[in-house]
Structure formats: structure tokens, C-alpha cells
Amino acid sequence: MGADRPKQLLEIGGRSLLQLSVALCDAHPSVTELVVVLPASLLDAAGELVGPTRRGCRVVAGGARRQDSVRHGVGAVSAGADVVLIHDAARPFASAALIDRVIAGAVSTGAAIPALASRDTVKRRDLDSGWVRESVPRAEVWLAQTPQAFRRDVLTAIVPLGAGEREATDESMLAEWAGLPVAIVEGDERNVKITTPDDLARARDSAMVAPRVGTGYDLHRLVEGRPLVLAGVVVPFERGPLGHSDGDVLCHALTDALLGAAGAGDIGRHFPNTDPAWKNAPGLDLLARAVAIVRTAGYAPASADVSIILERPKLSPLVDSMRERVAQVLGVAVSAVSIKGKTNEGVDAVGRGEAIAAHAVAVLTHGGPL
């Protein structure tokens, strides 16, 4: 890259490739924990380099080779993980749908990689003369991507093979060495690996595409016997919102804003109140699912602004906690999230203290190369 730092720390749209890659994994509903492998020299700055995460995140030192770093990272994964994804920090545009496919492939087969079929005629070159030695049947050639997914038992069996002298350029090679099957699932053309200055320039140009803006609104009656929850923070109060889910108006309004900005419908379409699956569903969980939906549509959250209208209690002591939680789910800096508490000056049901409402605006940027 010819840069003054590792390419994974170069920025697109104000966030590093590493932060973007961590955020897309952190936002996926099926991901429960994160392990980031960094050069040992960068461990002291890990919090700043990785950025905020919603899931628990461990940071470990890497090794001399990719397979060594993977071995260190896998050693830090909790014992309860059933499937482990291994992803290149230099691929910041993987979609939620792609992650779904590799997880399903690993559950079924034990190991799965996303790949794209070659569109070009493939030639094998003689290393000594530099001349074409033969043509390779194009149908046999697939271009591998990440994340690559493995059942825990498979990964435990193959990772030790990377301790030898043979060089593995990706994790599926370890499974090949062990004679284990590796499924190929459909890759994504947007899931590019930033390798050259031209790759970075194209990605930055995509980030400059006009942003998408969406608005959201939610209102719930306040009743006794229900907790008042906003962005997962329980607000001390004798009443809470009546609703099918947890009635988190902040998250519901912002979910609608995100979906609207991506042209992906509204909260009722994706999480209808007639579906028992969403009974008492936490608002932060619905928000995380909305983030996954907009990422699949090719966008990424950039900022959010939410106004909560409530006569009492005062929300100002809890606003910072709410901002932090929303920022973690969106995969943005806390400074990109604004949350404001307002009253309705005694006007209508909200002003009489009978209801709570929220208005939200979300800004999305393009989530990958055009």
C-alpha cells in the first residue's frame, strides 16, 4: 500500500478498515463474541483501534504468519462457541447475508467458504520461463473470500496443522490438508479485499456517494406494571410503555429510520406485532437486526439523531449510557449518536404523561464498492 501504517488502519469515511470490519461482525444477530488479532506492538492502543463493540471483544497478539495469528485468535474463543468465523480486517464490506450463508454451510458441512466463480479464462504459468503452461478449466476455479466458517470441532482439529512449516494462505487450506470437506457458498462481489492503493481509492470514492437519510417515529401508551426501557437502559419510573415488544420507542423509531433510509420498508414489515417471535423482544435486538438488513442492502450507518418526548422523569442522567449502547449496535463512534429528551409542554396525551414518543433521523453511507 505504501502507507505509513498497516493497511487495516487506513480509513474510509472516517473509520478504519479494521473498525468497519469489526462493526459488520458486531452487528450480525448470530455473532455472540469477537476476537481481534493485532500485532503485539499495537495491543496497548487496542481500545482506540478497534472502537466500541456491542458484543464482548477480546484482543490478542498475532504471530509471524497468518496461520499463527489464527491459532492465537482461536485460542481466545470461548468454549461455548459452536461455529467460528474467521474474517480479514481488509474486507470491510461483507454483508449480513454472506455471513448467514457461511454459517449455514459450516453447520451443515463442518467448514464453508464464500467464493466467486472465475469469469475469465485461467492460465497456469511456468515459473521458470514465464510462458503459459496450460489452460485451467474455468468451471473449476473459484476465488475465495472471507469470512470463512468452521464448526468448533473441525477448527479444533485443523488449527494445530498450521504450526508446521507449510504456508496456509487461508484457513480452508488447513481443512484441505486434513482431508476434510469444505463447502463453497455464494460470495459477494462487493466483498472486496483492500490490497492496493487503487482498491482503497475506489472504496473511498464509494463512501463519497450521496448519503441516504431516513426518519422514524414511535409512540406508546404508558401503563403501570411495565418497565420503561430506552436503548436497553431501564429508566426508574412507575410506568412503562404498553406494547407487543419491550416498547423501546428510541430503538423502534431509529429502526424505522434506518429501514426507511435503505428503502427496506418499516419495522412492522420486518417485526410484526402479530408474530409471537417478537413478544417482549428487546429494542436493541430489533435495532441490531435492522442494521444487518441495511448492510445487506449495501449501506452502513453513519449517524443517528433521536428526540424522546416524555413529560417525566428527566432523561439527562441516562443519555450518555443510551448513546453508548446505540453507538455499539450501529457500529459508529458515540459522537455520531445524538439523543435528546424533550417534554410536550403539557399538550395532548404525551403532555399529560399518558404516553411516550420518539422521533429519529438516520444517515446511511454506501456500504461497499459500487
Quick one: which H or E segment has residue 34? strand 33-38
Query: What confidence score (pLDDT) does residue 114 get?
Result: 98
Is the omega angle on the peptide bond into residue 313 within 30 degrees of 0, that is, cis? Answer: yes
What percentage of residues in the chain have a pLDDT greater than 70? Answer: 99
- Model confidence at 368: pLDDT above 80: no
Sign of the alpha-carbon torsion through 25, 31, 33, 39: negative
CB atoms inside a 10 Å sphere around CB 255: 28
Cell of 254: 431509529
Comparing 64 with 209, the larger pLDDT belongs to 64
CA distance 310 to 344: 7
Query: What confidence score (pLDDT) does residue 206 get?
Result: 79
Query: What confidence score (pLDDT) does residue 350 get?
Result: 93
pTM for the predicted model, two decimal places: 0.77
Comparing 280 with 191, the larger pLDDT belongs to 191
CA distance 187 to 170: 15
CA distance 44 to 201: 29
> Are 217 and 323 in contact, with CB atoms under 8 Å apart?
no
> Are 337 and 323 in contact, with CB atoms under 8 Å apart?
yes
Query: What confidence score (pLDDT) does residue 110 get?
Result: 97
As a whole number of angstroms, the longest Cα–Cα distance in the chain is: 85
pLDDT tens-digit profile of 1-46? Answer: 889 999 999 998 888 999 999 989 988 889 999 999 999 999 999 9
How far lies 316's CA from each of 13, 249, 313, 319, 353, in Å?
A: 30, 16, 9, 5, 18
pLDDT tens-digit profile of 309-363? Answer: 999 999 999 999 999 999 989 988 899 999 999 999 999 999 999 999 999 999 9
Summarize the confidence of residues 154-159 as an average pLDDT. 96
CA distance 95 to 102: 11
Least confident segment among 56-70, 121-135, 197-211, 214-228 = 197-211
Domains and CATH numbers, the chain: 7-117+144-205 (3.90.550.10), 212-366 (3.30.1330.50)
- Model confidence at 370: pLDDT above 70: no
- Model confidence at 90: pLDDT above 80: yes
Give the length of the chain. 370
Contacts of 108 by beta carbon, 8 Å cutoff, 6+ apart: 183
- Model confidence at 187: pLDDT above 80: yes
pLDDT tens-digit profile of 227-280? Answer: 999 999 999 999 999 988 889 999 999 999 999 999 999 999 999 989 998 998
Query: What confidence score (pLDDT) does residue 145 get?
Result: 98
> Between 319-330 and 249-261, two packed helices, what is the crossing angle to 10 degrees?
30
pLDDT averaged over the chain? 93
CB atoms inside a 10 Å sphere around CB 154: 22
State how beta strands 111-117 and 183-186 pair. parallel
Summarize the confidence of residues 114-123 as an average pLDDT. 96
Rounded to 5°, the CA angle 50-98-363 comes to: 60
Q: Where are the alpha helices (DSSP H) in the chain?
A: 17-26, 46-50, 66-75, 96-109, 152-158, 172-177, 197-207, 249-261, 267-270, 283-296, 319-330, 348-351
CA distance 261 to 299: 9
Query: What confidence score (pLDDT) does residue 94 get?
Result: 92
Cell of 188: 459477494
Query: What confidence score (pLDDT) does residue 311 get?
Result: 93
Nearest to 192 by CA among 204, 210, 209: 204
Burial 61-82 (b: 16+ CB within 10 A, else e): ebbeebbebbbbbbeebeeebe
pLDDT tens-digit profile of 193-216? Answer: 999 999 999 988 877 777 899 999
Query: What confidence score (pLDDT) does residue 100 get?
Result: 94
